Amino acid sequence: MFKHREYKLYEKEIFTKSGNKRVVRFFSKGETEGAKTIALPKGYIVRKNKKTGVPYLKKKK
């Protein structure tokens, strides 16, 4: 489980409008239904939104 301050990193599988399966990773303060906590994926770094302060994932260059 990866934690950035009070936010935890989650992963959830969703279906797009076209019916394809897609994995979504996001940070949340509380429990999220249907999502599981994960470790920081390889090749990603954590950045913080300057306006809201919410962390997000960004691919390493």
CA-CA distance, 6 to 12, in Å (whole number)? 19
39: left (phi over 0), alpha (psi -120 to 50) or beta: beta
18-36: per-residue pLDDT in tens? 999 999 999 999 999 999 9
Neighbours of 56 (CB within 10 A): 16
Query: Do residues 10 and 23 make contact, with C-beta atoms less than 8 angstroms apart?
Result: no
Tell me 29's DSSP state.
Answer: S
- Average model confidence (pLDDT) across the chain: 96
- Cβ atoms of residues 60 and 44 within 8 Å: yes
Report the predicted TM-score, pTM, of the whole model to 2 decimal places: 0.87
